[in-house]
Amino acid sequence: MSAQRDFTVNDALSDVTVVVEGTKLYVHRQYLAEWSGVWRKLFVAECPDDVTSSIEIIIEDKKLDEVLELLHCIYSSQKPTSDSNVDILLDFAEEYDMPSMRNRCEDYLCAQDASIEHLIVAEKFDLKHLYKQCVDFAKTRTLEDLEKDPLCKCVSEKTLTRIYKEKVNMMRDYANDLKQSETKLTRANEQLLDEKEGMAAMLGSIGKIWEMPNKRCYKHMTDDRFDFTCRDCNEKIQREVRRMCSDAQHVRRFFTLNNK
Ligand SMILES: [Zn+2]
């Protein structure tokens, strides 16, 4: 990891001094103005004509650690956004009008697992992508889970209503899906019943072919009973059984249905 800049050391190019808790931090207006609309306005107002003169800004409502965290995150070394600094950075982003920092924090949070905690952050800072992602997460949880979660008490009524509404929509879609697959199953079932009847009829008729005179050879067509010793009669019967079996092949569809 590269060494982080020491903002307490003055350098020749520094043109802004930020004073926090009595400590002077030497920074550059170009950097700060690029990130923050509030600072940009301030610099323009402080020295509209002479952009080279140095100015001093005193920040009274922040801690030194917090300001340093922000500076480390926006300077070229760009410390990454993390769980430990994202809240601080979002506070700055709002107070100092820093849209790129706000986007960076939202990107970071969106890449994490959605949670009720993030939903509260999304509401507080109006982070729309994160908000949607977390509402989508919340609607998949059970009502019991949501009611039990103490964090849900920090979620606004408006958002809770939205979660419940989307939950109802989700259940309705689910119910429709179920109805559709039920219809499909009923149809498949009817088809199988038809095939079963066909099979039963065929099996019945296979048993009867030994009694049918026209399934015998021409010499034995007029006999009362099948002559098992006649080679021609047996061959004819075998052909007939094979034909019936190949007709029954379509029943295989039953097995492919089971595999789906
Ligand atoms: Zn015969």
For the stretch 149-180, pLDDT in tens is 898 888 999 999 999 999 899 889 999 999 99
CA 217–ligand 1 middle distance (angstroms): 4
CA 220–ligand 1 middle distance (angstroms): 5
CA 88–ligand 1 middle distance (angstroms): 100
Closest CA to 93 of 39, 130, 47, 131: 39
CA 216–ligand 1 middle distance (angstroms): 6
118 in Cβ contact with 155 (< 8 Å)? no
Q: Which CATH superfamily is domain 1-79 in?
A: Potassium Channel Kv1.1; Chain A (3.30.710.10)
Q: Indicate whether 219 pLDDT > 50.
A: yes
Q: Given this model, what pLDDT does residue 137 score?
A: 93
Q: Indicate whether 134 pLDDT > 50.
A: yes
Q: Quick check: helix, strand or coil at residue 36?
A: coil
Quickly state the pLDDT bin for 95 (edges 50, 70, 90): very high
Q: Given this model, what pLDDT does residue 30 score?
A: 83
Q: Indicate whether 245 pLDDT > 70.
A: yes
CA 207–ligand 1 middle distance (angstroms): 18
Token pair in block for residue 59: 């920040």
Could you report the per-residue pLDDT of 173-209, keeping only the tens digit for each? Answer: 999 999 999 999 999 999 888 888 887 887 777 778 8
Q: What share of the chain in percent tops pLDDT 90?
A: 42
Could you report the per-residue pLDDT of 49-61, keeping only the tens digit for each? Answer: 665 677 888 999 9
Q: What are phi and psi of 11, to 5 degrees?
A: -130, 160
Average pLDDT over residues 221-234: 90
Q: Please, what's the b/e burial string for 190-206 (b: 16 or more CB within 10 A of its CB; e: otherwise)? A: eeeeeeeeeeeeeeeee
Q: Given this model, what pLDDT does residue 49 score?
A: 64
Q: Given this model, what pLDDT does residue 258 score?
A: 47
CA 185–ligand 1 middle distance (angstroms): 49
CA 230–ligand 1 middle distance (angstroms): 5
